[in-house]
């Protein structure tokens, strides 16, 4: 598996397995076991996915040494601020049944970010977190918030796929070695994207499927991808990206698919309040 070097010296596998919207009714456990069997060594979960516990159990039961698996989780909005973030992190550690997390993100860029980030910096210094990062930061949000942080984030996990290639953000983050992680790397299953003629032609040429062409393109662009699937065949195929390479003119054809915007606009007014209202991670406590 290709590894990507982060700006804090740690390495992250270029392909991770995403578990957003996989329920905590045994499905997440089964999908993560399937992914680990297929060769994934990087799992992307979050407090707000309500499935950290099943991820932790699947990792333990796999028998694979903990240090060989890269686990990401993300703090949710109700836990922002210094003390709440510390408490939220302890809860993630407990649910994941681990004494450290490889990468912990501030999931959404609203509310008391600065104090929550300080808690993550201190947890990193204490060895509970190996790397820390943010998510859903647009250039505007990045420029407003990150100058207030002591440590630069290692990653910014954002919507990214051939239709929304995040060029402005990538140019902004590059000088600091901040890596983009793509959420929705397959356009969340967008059928129009899979049917793009340029993608279909490359799939034919390389004997791959459209998903593999899209993911290979992103990985070749230096982006960390987190494809999600509950289908065992797709779980496997989404990792099978390393026996071919796209040529420069083919990369250019796929770069030309960029529409410059995605399905989610973190800058839109009221998004933070809406997310806080709609996802309450303490609802069942």
Ligand X SMILES: NC(=O)c1ccc[n+]([C@@H]2O[C@H](COP(=O)([O-])OP(=O)(O)OC[C@H]3O[C@@H](n4cnc5c(N)ncnc54)[C@H](OP(=O)(O)O)[C@@H]3O)[C@@H](O)[C@H]2O)c1
Residue 165 in the binding site for ligand X (CB under 6 A): no
Q: Which stretch binds ligand X (CB under 6 A): 2-10, 120-128, 148-156, 183-191?
A: 183-191
Q: Shortest distance, CB of residue 143 to ligand X, whole angstroms?
A: 20
- Between CA 12 and CA 19 the distance in angstroms is 17
Q: Shortest distance, CB of residue 236 to ligand X, whole angstroms?
A: 10
CA separation, residue 251 to residues 4, 140, 245 (Å): 19, 28, 10
Q: Shortest distance, CB of residue 230 to ligand X, whole angstroms?
A: 4
Q: Shortest distance, CB of residue 183 to ligand X, whole angstroms?
A: 3
Which parts of 80-109 interact with ligand X (CB under 6 A)? Answer: 107
The interface mask with ligand X, positions 222-241, x = CB under 6 A, is ----xxxxxx--x--xx---
3-class SS string, 81-137: CHHHHHHHHHHHHHHHCCCCEEEEEECCCCCCHHHHHHHHHHHHHCCCEEEEEEECC
The interface mask with ligand X, positions 28-57, x = CB under 6 A, is ----------------x-------------
Considering 29, 40, 49, 163, which one is annotated as catalytic?
Answer: 49
Which parts of 5-24 interact with ligand X (CB under 6 A)? Answer: 18-20
Long-range contacts of 60-69 (CB under 8 A, 24+ apart): 60/97, 61/33, 62/33, 62/36, 62/37, 64/36, 66/98, 68/41, 69/36, 69/41, 69/42, 69/43
Nearer to ligand X, 152 or 264 (CB): 264
Torsion angle (degrees, nearest 10) of CA 233, 258, 48, 75: 120
- Determine whether 29 is an active site residue: no
Nearer to ligand X, 169 or 226 (CB): 226
Question: What three-state secondary structure class fits 155?
Answer: strand
Residue with structure tokens 């393109």? 217
CB 137, CB 156: distance < 8 Å: yes
Q: Shortest distance, CB of residue 133 to ligand X, whole angstroms?
A: 10
Residue 206 in the binding site for ligand X (CB under 6 A): no
* Cα–chain center distance at 154: 12
The interface mask with ligand X, positions 252-281, x = CB under 6 A, is ------------------------------
Q: Shortest distance, CB of residue 189 to ligand X, whole angstroms?
A: 3
Residue 133 in the binding site for ligand X (CB under 6 A): no
Residue 136 in the binding site for ligand X (CB under 6 A): yes
Residue 27 in the binding site for ligand X (CB under 6 A): no
Nearer to ligand X, 18 or 81 (CB): 18
Q: Which of 226, 222, 223 is nearest to 18 (CA)?
A: 226
- Between CA 184 and CA 127 the distance in angstroms is 30
Burial of 121 (0-12, 13-18, 19+ CB in 10 A): middle
Contacts with ligand X by CB under 6 A lie at 18-20, 44, 107, 135-136, 157, 183-189, 194, 209, 211, 226-231, 234, 237-238
Active-site residue set: 49
């Amino acid at each position: 598996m290709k590894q990507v070097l982060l700006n804090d010296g740690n390495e992250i596998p270029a392909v991770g397995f995403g578990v957003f919207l996989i329920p905590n009714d045994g499905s997440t456990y089964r999908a993560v076991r399937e992914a680990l069997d297929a060769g994934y060594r990087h799992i992307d979960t979050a407090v707000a996915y309500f499935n950290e516990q099943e991820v932790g159990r699947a990792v333990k039961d796999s028998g694979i040494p903990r240090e060989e698996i890269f686990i990401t989780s993300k703090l949710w909005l109700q836990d922002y601020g210094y003390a709440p973030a510390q408490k939220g992190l302890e809860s993630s550690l407990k649910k994941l049944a681990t004494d450290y997390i490889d990468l912990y993100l501030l999931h959404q860029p609203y509310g008391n970010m600065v104090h929550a980030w300080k808690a993550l910096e201190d947890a990193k210094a204490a060895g509970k977190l190996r790397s820390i990062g943010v998510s859903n930061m647009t250039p505007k949000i990045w420029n407003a918030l990150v100058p207030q942080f002591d440590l630069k984030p290692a990653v910014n996990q954002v919507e990214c796929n051939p239709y929304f290639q995040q060029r402005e953000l990538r140019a902004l983050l590059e000088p600091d070695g901040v890596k983009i992680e793509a959420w929705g790397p397959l356009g969340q299953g967008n059928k129009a994207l899979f049917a793009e003629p340029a993608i279909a032609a490359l799939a034919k040429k390389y004997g791959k499927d459209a998903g593999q062409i899209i993911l290979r393109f992103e990985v070749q662009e230096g982006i960390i991808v987190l494809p999600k699937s509950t289908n065992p065949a797709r779980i496997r195929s989404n990792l099978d990206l390393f026996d071919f390479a796209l040529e420069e003119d083919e990369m250019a054809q796929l770069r030309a698919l960029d529409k410059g915007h995605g399905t989610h606009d973190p800058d839109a007014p009221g998004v933070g309040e809406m997310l806080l209202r709609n996802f309450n991670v303490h609802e069942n406590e």
